[in-house]
A and B are shown apart, each in its own frame.
Chain A
Amino acid sequence: MDRREFLSAMATGPALAALQPRPVPKYHIVTNHKPAAKPGMPGAFPGRVITVHSPTVIDEVTEKVDVPTVQSMIARGMSTLTGDKDPRDSWARFFNAQDFVGIKVNASGAPGAMSMPDVVAEITRNLTIVGVKPTNIVIHERGSGQILLPKYHEFVPAGVRVESASTWLGYDPDVYVEVNFFGEEDTRSYLIRMVSEQFTKIINVPNMKDHGASGVTGCLKNIAYGEFNNVARSHYHAQTETLTFIGTLATVEPLRSRTVLNIMDGLRGVWHAGPFSRDRKYRFYPKQLKFGTDPVAIDRLLIDIIDEKRKKEGVISVWNRDMKYFSTKQEDWERDPNMNRSIREPGHIEYASTLGLGVYDLRKIDHTELTV
């Protein structure tokens, strides 16, 4: 299915009766990087997702995380993903002593929702076990404000750095996507320079969250909107361009080739009013981690997790495009989970599959679930 066929199919789907998708914008990708022989996305294990559950990994009242359980979950998840007996061998498949690793966290809802510091700390610990120097590990976000809230530096080994585009290297003038969505003047989104000039590998650590514009925010949105600037312009209007922009950004080299591992933090999540978590009543506790190299396959499963939670709460689906549930007032959609602030585009995940980023079809996703 090519992009035009995809949109044609979307346009005839019953869920989209209220508002037709916009045509695919004219994207102009500029990069001086070539793809790796085997790009990190979808990587070594297309379509494979390992979900590790634990009923005791987080206390729903205190939100305290049980670190030994996290360690067990990550060990089981990684070894099951690769098929190795020893999780050290699993990590060694991806990383070695020569690597400079960026860990792309999500702190946009911190402290209520974020890539948990305990999870990120365990990831850094495993990297050092396979020889990556702590000074060659950088936990990062695009923006400088939110990344400070989780206090990652208090959890990770000495030498590991916490940086943003504002604090280190800025943006790469030679890697950007140019597109004019709505007549905006600033039509470029630049890649942060850490990705293009420093990192040899990237681990993507998103959260399980609802998103008012893209429907859900998982692996794809975290790596795309989190590594490029000037992305909010895609959702300044009721009908957004998140459907195609997220996947398009994720394909840009070297981001695509260097993002070799996705670990989705689902210890807690947000089922409405995301990506932030200003109101605790919209938080929930899936108590799981998902592992894979394929961001599309993981995100496909995420849609169902968020939507099932919303169904359980008796509110509209993330697929609902009916304008009667739309309000321009922030207080409306923050107060009422049956209100949308934009026409949600969870279809961005299927769209990304058409760009070769992974497997969307549930029948083709090899999903293994474990409990520790």
Chain B
Amino acid sequence: MKTQITPNLLISYVKNLLISGFLLAGAAVATHGVLASAVGQSAVPSKLYLTAAASSLVEQGLAAAAPTGPDAASYREIPSPGVRYLPNVARATNIPWIDSNGWRFARGMRKVSYAKVPAGSASLAAAEAFAFNVDAIINPDPKDLEDLGKMLRFLKANEQAPLPDLVNIGVVDNPSPLFDEVLNLLTRRNLLYKVVPAPDRTLDLNVQLGTPDFPAEAAANPYEFAARVRAKLGDDKRLVRLYGTSTVIARLTSDKSRARLYLLSFSSRRQQDAGAQGIRVRVQGRYQPAKFAAYGATPEAKVSDVRHPDTTTEFWVPDFNTLAIVDLEAMK
């Protein structure tokens, strides 16, 4: 499905950005020496709706019933999130291919419908919508109801007023059909970006197809294009790095004094098994972890071995299933 983004929507999007979040987040990250900017977001938490297939969960108050009629038409159908394992050309191993909708949300899609959700994927769909703060209708497989119910309880327990996205890459919108795949790869590589109508000098890097740094033909290979973006930015400037996983997507949000990091695991076995050291996280900026919440983690699970090399914060995130949330407080 193609994402459609109109000029008016883009203008509104940029205005929203400038008014709502940019100044706050710019101030927050400037203290860390990072030029980042905030993407305009809804000021209220995402709303999750369930189809009749999950009426029992609606009755429990875990979500609202899905809208019908004209209201439902405003929700764009998107694919179920997940992972596929593709053969590696050089070895007998498979490499994970993440199917995330993060890039669609980055293009401004705020109301979506997970209409076709295969068994085992409903909780990931709910977590994805929650993490990216979009309103979503979920049509779960009946086999998923128990797990989805647990996930919805977890999400409710961790709901808060959304913070602006932190990004430091601007990707200038482009009508090329390859553009979507480029955004998809940037999302999967945790290169935190926003789509902009024109280069934004407040960002660390602007990516514009057709420029010498990013020739249009380079987009023909999204893998190499993402690698090019990464190289141009430099790993040292990346707002989030994840070590120990290739199947987790991060979303970082922040205001002046705090940040919230969402970690979405797309692994087919979304429960990791590395104990207290599931993933090593590096975040630009100096923070103290304030709260850790993770679906599938033990109650005593917490981030550990917090370090502050240079202007960054590093810590281990313990095992979790599907979604982990790390709340961080900026250090004085």
Q: Which candidate, B90-98, B101-109, B133-141, B324-332, is the interface stretch facing chain A?
A: B90-98
Interface presence of A135 (CB below 8 A):
no
A167 (CB) vs chain B CBs: closest residue: B275
Given A185-B190, A185-B246, A188-B243, are A236 and B93 neighbors across the interface (CB < 8 Å)?
yes
CB distance from B314 to the nearest CB of A (A): 7
Q: Is the CB of B92 within 8 A of A329?
A: yes
How far is A330 from B90 in the complex, measured between Cα atoms in Å? 10
Complex interface: chain A residues within 8 A of B190 (CB): 185
CB distance from B287 to the nearest CB of A (A): 16
Q: Is the CB of A173 within 8 A of B242?
A: no
Specify which of B92, B242, B305 is in contact with A186 (CB 8 Å cutoff).
B242
Interface presence of B189 (CB below 8 A):
yes
Interface presence of A85 (CB below 8 A):
no
Contact with B along A175-195 (1 / 0, CB 8 A): 000001001111110100000
Specify which of B91, B235, B314 is in contact with A173 (CB 8 Å cutoff).
B314
CB distance from A297 to the nearest CB of B (A): 32
Give the contacts of B248-275 with A (CB-CB under 8 A): 273-275
Q: Is the CB of A187 within 8 A of B93?
A: no
A326 (CB) vs chain B CBs: closest residue: B90
- Where chain A touches its partner, the secondary structure class is loop
Interface presence of B311 (CB below 8 A):
no
Complex interface: chain A residues within 8 A of B235 (CB): 180, 187
Interface presence of B89 (CB below 8 A):
yes
Interface presence of A174 (CB below 8 A):
yes
Complex interface: chain B residues within 8 A of A184 (CB): 246
Q: Is the CB of B242 within 8 A of A341?
A: no
Given A166-B275, A171-B277, A237-B90, are A185 and B242 neighbors across the interface (CB < 8 Å)?
yes
Interface presence of A72 (CB below 8 A):
no
Interface presence of A170 (CB below 8 A):
yes
Q: Is the CB of A174 within 8 A of B307?
A: yes
Interface presence of A328 (CB below 8 A):
yes
Q: Is the CB of B88 within 8 A of A236?
A: yes
Given A166-B274, A190-B280, are A173 and B244 neighbors across the interface (CB < 8 Å)?
no
Give the contacts of A227-247 with B (CB-CB under 8 A): 229-230, 236-238
Given A185-B189, A187-B235, are A341 and B243 neighbors across the interface (CB < 8 Å)?
no
Complex interface: chain B residues within 8 A of A328 (CB): 89-92
CB distance from B316 to the nearest CB of A (A): 7
Interface presence of B18 (CB below 8 A):
no
Complex interface: chain B residues within 8 A of A329 (CB): 92
Interface presence of B227 (CB below 8 A):
yes
CB distance from A354 to the nearest CB of B (A): 27
Interface presence of B202 (CB below 8 A):
no
Give the contacts of B304-328 with A (CB-CB under 8 A): 305, 307, 314, 316
Max count, chain B CB within 10 A of own CB: residue among A173, A190, A236, A329: A173
Q: Is the CB of B277 within 8 A of A170?
A: yes
Q: Is the CB of A173 within 8 A of B316?
A: yes
Contact with A along B217-231 (1 / 0, CB 8 A): 000000000010010
Specify which of A166, A180, A186 is in contact with B244 (CB 8 Å cutoff).
A186
Interface presence of B276 (CB below 8 A):
yes
Specify which of A180, A186, A187, A238 is in contact with B245 (CB 8 Å cutoff).
A186
CB distance from B102 to the nearest CB of A (A): 15
CB distance from B49 to the nearest CB of A (A): 34
Complex interface: chain A residues within 8 A of B273 (CB): 166
How far is A236 from B275 in the complex, measured between Cα atoms in Å? 26
Q: Is the CB of B275 within 8 A of A170?
A: yes
Complex interface: chain B residues within 8 A of A230 (CB): 243-244
Max count, chain A CB within 10 A of own CB: residue among B189, B243, B275, B276: B243
Contact with B along A147-181 (1 / 0, CB 8 A): 00000000000000000001000110110000010
Complex interface: chain B residues within 8 A of A183 (CB): 227, 230
How far is A186 from B235 in the complex, measured between Cα atoms in Å? 11
How far is A187 from B234 in the complex, measured between Cα atoms in Å? 13
Q: Is the CB of B243 within 8 A of A187?
A: yes
CB distance from B40 to the nearest CB of A (A): 28
Q: Is the CB of B307 within 8 A of A173?
A: yes
Complex interface: chain A residues within 8 A of B305 (CB): 173
Given A166-B274, A173-B314, A173-B316, are A186 and B243 neighbors across the interface (CB < 8 Å)?
yes
Q: Is the CB of B244 within 8 A of A170?
A: no
Max count, chain B CB within 10 A of own CB: residue among A170, A187, A330: A170
Complex interface: chain A residues within 8 A of B307 (CB): 173-174
B88 (CB) vs chain A CBs: closest residue: A236
Contact with B along A308-339 (1 / 0, CB 8 A): 00000000000000000000111000000000
How far is A120 from B88 in the complex, measured between Cα atoms in Å? 38
CB distance from B288 to the nearest CB of A (A): 16
How far is A174 from B305 in the complex, measured between Cα atoms in Å? 9
A30 (CB) vs chain B CBs: closest residue: B309
How far is A229 from B278 in the complex, measured between Cα atoms in Å? 12
Complex interface: chain B residues within 8 A of A170 (CB): 274-277, 316
Complex interface: chain A residues within 8 A of B277 (CB): 170-171
Q: Is the CB of B276 within 8 A of A173?
A: no
Contact with B along A260-272 (1 / 0, CB 8 A): 0000000000000
Q: Is the CB of B280 within 8 A of A173?
A: yes
CB distance from B307 to the nearest CB of A (A): 6
Max count, chain A CB within 10 A of own CB: residue among B88, B280, B307: B280
How far is A183 from B230 in the complex, measured between Cα atoms in Å? 9
CB distance from B225 to the nearest CB of A (A): 12
How far is A186 from B274 in the complex, measured between Cα atoms in Å? 15
Max count, chain B CB within 10 A of own CB: residue among A174, A186, A238: A186
Q: Is the CB of B280 within 8 A of A188?
A: yes
- The contact sample of 9 A-B pairs, CB cut-off 8 A, is A170-B275, A187-B235, A188-B280, A190-B243, A230-B243, A236-B93, A237-B91, A328-B89, A328-B90
- Minimum-distance CB pairs A-B, first 5: A330-B92, A173-B305, A170-B277, A237-B90, A188-B243
A residues in contact (CB < 8 Å) with B: 166, 170-171, 173-174, 180, 183-188, 190, 229-230, 236-238, 328-330, 341
Known: A183-B230, A185-B189. 19 other contacts (CB 8 A): A166-B274, A170-B276, A171-B277, A173-B314, A185-B246, A186-B244, A186-B245, A187-B235, A188-B243, A229-B244, A236-B90, A237-B91, A328-B89, A328-B90, A328-B91, A329-B92, A330-B91, A330-B92, A341-B91
